[in-house]
Amino acid sequence: MSDRGRSSRRARSASPEPGKHQALADAPSSSTLPTPSTYSRAQSASARTSSFGLKPAGHETIQPGREHMNRARPYFNTLPPMKFIKGFFGEVDSPRIIPDLDLSRIAVPRFGNNLVVGERRRQFARALCAVINESNLCPELNFVVISRLGSELHIQAYNVEDGTPATDVALPIYIRDDQYYDPVWDSSLRTDTDYDDIRQDLLTEYLHQFQIAPRTHIFSLEITGSCARLVRTDHAGMVGSVSFNWKEDSYYLSEFLWRMGQLSNDGLGLDTTWSAATPEEIAVTLAAVQADDPDGDYSGALVKKLLLLNDSINPDVQDGAYDVFAVLAHNFAPRPELVGRYTMGFRAYCPVTREVIWVKDSWTRSDTFFEPEGVTMRKLHAEGVPHIARVHSAGYVRANDDRVQITLSGRPRFKSESASGVVYTHYRIAYRDIGRPLSMFRSTRELVSAVCDAVQAHTSAYEVGVIHRDISQGNILIDKDGRGMLIDWEMALDRDLLSTEQYDRACQHHCGKFAATLSL
């Protein structure tokens, strides 16, 4: 992944300006839609053959469950192609002067899965790649044909610079072998049951792109015969264009590719706060993590550099941006839910404080009644609430242009009428205390003691005006001293909001266990 833009943030981390990032981390920015002038050409600095490693080798892609599919169903909206392009790419100062793609000699890919049809689809894919690569619409992207199992055939675009990781896909083009594989449900073509299966396949393919590389979003192109759709996917859902005929009129496809060619890695959806670590950094990190967790399964291939922000949570860490080194264990598996918080957790080594920390990376709801988890933890610690983890640092994740990373699919201009319009903001919080699951208790006494400690933490928090709202076995850990810790305060709310309109809205989004408690 490219290091472009990280150097300036590392410079800030060496001598951060006190207080500068506190306000930025405590309140998400009302970022405007990206415009072409904001971005520059994408670059790359790592090996083409290497993989980011979010999804370790040997692990199958995690399938989204039916509950997640049902939750994701209303989050697909369609827009006219030009509204899609202007909405996500913005207006341009100068119109495109490069002519539209000449697709007159390219045959429409046929449906089916026999050998003859499959070979014709491969010919179509190779011809389309050649036309795009020769068009100069996006000269810094190289389009190549990717064959998959069975009859699946897709195209993926990569940065032309040497060393682009194979997982850093700039733009996937999905060539469907059946007219029913369209992301928009049509009752005249299929039943709800048929669409459930199709939707699972589509979600799995899009989820795969988030599992193999750290992403904030991804643009894609769906080709179904002579029809095509432009699609953008993030953790708030999917937004696609109305289907258009790419064969009869290549204007929309040409304009889309030209706009894609002007995007930076951030604009393409690659999370540039991750980058490669040096061999020296890997060695130091592995030594620290293995000493902290002797039973863990770690290797240097899974050590990556990660940018964190601090908002005055820990006085030992200055405000600002700085690097830590994340270590993903071999048994690490990304979340199977594409739409939602997409929470991940992993150990990391901080060279500033020289300690092993636990980093929680998630996409939090941007509702005004939810405070960032770091702010809640700061309040609890100030009030002396016991049996909670100490915070190392916390803050909203920012792109190279210093804008907070947020989802766009849930915004009013993009969401469907049936969608709730949720906006998620990328947030990272690091903890100094690392525990083991409650199920790994070493004695009955330790189990009972840990649960009692969690109850005491919950009671003390309630007394100072904070309701946890997400009590579960998974949110109670046992620390190194055998005491319990109540974690995951992301969904906590101020007790003063009880019986208010804000609280009623919040109750629509809490976990099932809390809902059951309220109904009693």
Greatest Cα pair distance in the chain: 76
Using pLDDT thresholds of 50, 70 and 90, give the confidence band for residue 61: very low
| Portion of the chain with pLDDT greater than 90, in percent | 47
Using pLDDT thresholds of 50, 70 and 90, give the confidence band for residue 165: confident
Residue 486 is part of a domain; what is its CATH number?
1.10.510.10
Last residue of a domain, one of 252, 268, 284: 268
Average confidence (pLDDT) over 124-147: 93
The residue ranking higher by pLDDT, 471 or 311, is 471
Average confidence (pLDDT) over 402-414: 80
pTM of the model: 0.80
Residue at 252 is within a domain = yes
Last residue of a domain, one of 209, 238, 268: 268
The confidence score (pLDDT) of residue 462 equals 95
User: Best-predicted range by mean pLDDT among 31-45, 63-77, 146-160, 387-401?
Assistant: 387-401
Q: Domain count for the chain, please give it.
A: 2
Last residue of a domain, one of 210, 235, 268: 268
Phi, psi for 53 (deg, rounded to 5): 95, 10
| Mean pLDDT rounded to a whole number for the chain | 78
Query: What are the distances in angstroms from CA 413 to CA 86, 218, 409, 425, 426?
Result: 11, 18, 9, 18, 21
Residue at 427 is within a domain = no
Report the C-alpha gap between 251 and 99 in whole angstroms. 9
Residue at 349 is within a domain = no
Give pLDDT tens digits for 237-296. Answer: 889 999 999 999 999 999 999 999 999 999 999 999 999 999 999 999 999 999 999 988
Residue at 15 is within a domain = no
Q: Give helix then strand counts, H and E, for the chain.
A: 13, 20
Residue 52 has pLDDT above 60, yes or no: no
Which range, of 17-26, 305-314, 341-350, 458-467, averages the lowest pLDDT? 17-26
Average confidence (pLDDT) over 98-115: 85
- Taking each helix axis as running N to C, give the angle between helix 115-135 and helix 251-260, from 0 to 180 degrees, rounded to the nearest 10: 60
Residue at 153 is within a domain = yes
Residue at 288 is within a domain = no
Report the C-alpha gap between 388 and 464 in whole angstroms. 14
Q: What residue numbers bound the domain in which 215 lies?
A: 33-268
Residue 314 has pLDDT above 80, yes or no: no
Sheet strands (E) in 204-332: 217-224, 227-234, 237-241, 244-245, 274-276, 303-310, 320-327
Which range, of 94-103, 237-246, 405-414, 474-483, averages the lowest pLDDT? 405-414
The confidence score (pLDDT) of residue 268 equals 94
Using pLDDT thresholds of 50, 70 and 90, give the confidence band for residue 337: confident
Report the C-alpha gap between 131 and 240 in whole angstroms. 24
Average confidence (pLDDT) over 355-363: 95
Residue at 374 is within a domain = no
Residue at 76 is within a domain = yes
* Cβ-contact 229, 222 below 8 angstroms: yes
